[in-house]
Amino acid sequence: MSGKLKVYIKNIDAYVDIQGGETLQEIFEAHKEDIGFTPICAQVNNKTENLTFPVFTPKQIDFKDIASAVGQRVYTRSLCMMLYRALTDVMPEAGLRIEHSISRGLYCRLFKKPGEKEAIGVTPDLIAKIQARMREIADADMEFVRKERLTKDVVEMFRSQDLDEKALLLETTHELYTVFYRLGDLSDSYYGPLASRTGMISVFDLVPYHEGFLLMGPSAEDPAVPAVPLPQEKMYVAFTDYLRFNKIIGVSDVGELNRAVQTRRTSQLINVAEALHDKLLGRISDRIAAINAEGGARIVLIAGPSSSGKTTSTKRLAIQLMTNLIVPKMISLDDYFVDRDHTPRDVDGDYDYENLHALDLDRLNSDLSDLLAGRQINLPTYSFELGRRIEREKPLKLEANDVLLIEGIHGLNPELVAGIPQRDLFKIYVSALTTLSIDAHNWISTTDNRLLRRIVRDNKYRHTSALDTIRRWPSVRRGEEKWIFPFQENADAMFNSSLLFEIGVMKDYAMPLLRDVPHDLPEYSEAYRLMKLLSYFESIPADQIPTTSLLREFLGGSSFHY
């Protein structure tokens, strides 16, 4: 019998007949031989959906496996609910907080009760019990049951489970209905869909880590085995310092931030957060000055991924150095690009300006050696319009109390300045290490924070649409994974450029740009996901942000010249 309607399955580039009302799982089962892989979710009209999603009207369906970025997010969220379920079974009164991603996993801490601020220590025996219970849950192939109820009823349900921070978030977002999931008799909510069954989430590990443990998902290299933690001790300290700061000012998650906005406490939050940036940069400046007084740290390298705020961080560090009676001088690595016809290309055949070898390393090391020896150089100038370096009169010499600041993504890569003695170098890693959580079980990705910054900045200064920025982002991320992240622990200091309030400020800038992404393009999925994140936040007026703020690098209105 012919179907009542047709749906288009993108994976096989074909329309298929359905009766109407079938779930995505049932549609997949009917065509799995042609599709050729096992999905964890699907994108329906470019929105991510659980495989229990019923189809009643013509749709475009794109099934996704766990190797896809979309599938990885679904897997991770599902793994988090399994952890919450297992902890509740092993320690019914304990609270769980999933703080942030680090060392290829998620850093988790336990509390005597949900909502408490002081973590309890975990033992290898306790971790083993929780992991064993998670394994039982996976083997039982339990259903993640998607529910939708009036928000007021969900708030009451979460309060009955002592999930007060989730209840506060929902009370401050004012949505009429809320989606949540049930696993057995336990309910929870997540920033996006989960898998349909726990049997899909079979690869994981729990690894002791500082006060808590790491929740590890599948390895990127081999999804059949759990990822192995990567040592990131300096990153851990940078995150932990900010988490303590969040606790002191009483804003650790979005619900608490929204309440601060509604009670008109944002000015205080902004002032304190900006003061913290000054203090941290001041401490780094003091360290540089102390080393410089002993004859070292003549060159300061500032590195970090896209939209981490390297440029403003460098300019504000320069001010701090001057208070230490040091004269900062700056050069840009962009001026050391090789001519365009010698620039490496990426996997798509485009010019790869994020490749280390897009720079003339010989010229850079020669110039730095001359400067350290007291000789004057003439700085090159790269013309992006011409695609080559041009020579202009730009003399530079380092005097006795001068320090050279070099900002660029490769600053921590030893190969960049292989010819320079280590004692002459001081390396700083800058990144927006987001410590504000949506709630205790939903963190905010540092990558999402940076992507929002870049969308706003690229539109303002480069007239680039959100569509084009989102489309380019995977290539940017590949470059970061290859050229930046492997070297971040080489830093002598780390500066967390995130600001507690910034997503609330960027909301009114980013939302209109994301709404303009066409619904019929694949990038709409990412735009929709980011709009969902922004929807949790109360808007914060940008006129409260000082002109010296790092956030002004992206919003405009900075007192610094870029």
Q: What is the pLDDT of residues 508-557, one digit of tens each?
A: 999 999 999 999 999 999 999 999 999 999 999 999 999 999 999 999 99
List pLDDT tens digits, range 80-139. Answer: 999 999 999 999 989 999 999 999 999 999 998 776 767 888 999 999 999 999 999 999
Confidence of residue 1 (pLDDT cuts 50, 70, 90): very low
In single-letter form, the type of residue at position 423 comes to R
- Mean pLDDT for 128-151 is 97
Residues 432 and 306: their CA atoms lie apart, in Å, by: 10
- In degrees, rounded to 5, the angle at the alpha carbon of residue 62 between the alpha carbons of residues 520 and 19 is 100
Percentage of residues of the chain with pLDDT beyond 90: 89
Percentage with pLDDT > 70 across the chain: 99
pLDDT at 427: 98
Helix/strand/coil (H/E/C) assignment for every residue in 254-306:
HHHHHHHHHCCCHHHHHHHHHHHHHHHHHHHHHHHHHHHHCCCCCEEEEECCC
- The per-residue pLDDT for 247 is 85
Give the number of other Cβ atoms within 10 Å of residue 410's Cβ. Answer: 23
CA 348 to chain centre: 24
Burial (0-12, 13-18, 19+ Cβ within 10 Å), 248: exposed
Label residues 367-393 b or e (16+ Cβ within 10 Å = b).
bbbebeeeeebeebebeeeeeebeeee
What does the domain layout of the chain look like in residue ranges?
A: 5-65, 82-230, 243-555
Q: What is the dihedral of CA 125, 128, 133, 138, to 10 degrees?
A: 180
The pLDDT score that the predictor gives to residue 115 is 66
Q: Distance between CA 248 and CA 326 in Å, rounded?
A: 33
Do residues 100 and 93 touch, judged by C-beta distance below 8 A?
Answer: no
Token pair, residue 273, equals 């957060």
Higher pLDDT, 257 or 249: 257
For residue 244, the model assigns a pLDDT of: 87
Taking the C-alpha atoms of residue 315 and residue 321, their distance in angstroms, rounded to an integer, is 10
In the predicted structure, residue 2 carries a pLDDT above the cut 70:
no
pLDDT of residue 509: 98
- Using alpha carbons, list the distances in angstroms from residue 243 to 58, 246, 270, 271, 344: 47, 5, 16, 18, 40
- What residues does 388 pair with on adjacent strands? 383
Fold of 243-555: Rossmann fold (3.40.50)
422 DSSP assignment: G
- For residue 383, pLDDT beyond 80: yes
Hey, what CATH topology would domain 82-230 get?
A: Threonyl-tRNA Synthetase; Chain A, domain 2 (3.30.980)
Band (561; pLDDT cuts 50, 70, 90): confident
Average pLDDT over residues 484-494: 95
Q: Is the pLDDT of residue 3 over 70?
A: no
Closest CA to 399 of 478, 328, 324, 293: 328
Mean pLDDT of the chain: 94
Assigned CATH topology for domain 5-65: Ubiquitin-like (UB roll) (3.10.20)
- pLDDT, tens only, 162-215: 999 999 999 999 999 999 999 999 999 999 999 999 999 999 999 999 999 999
First to last CA, the chain: 66
| Token pair for 126 | 């306790």
- Note the pLDDT of residue 346: 82
Q: Which residues contact 153 (CB under 8 A, 6 or more apart)?
A: none
- For 311-357, the pLDDT digits (tens) are 999 999 999 999 999 999 999 888 999 999 999 988 888 888 889 99
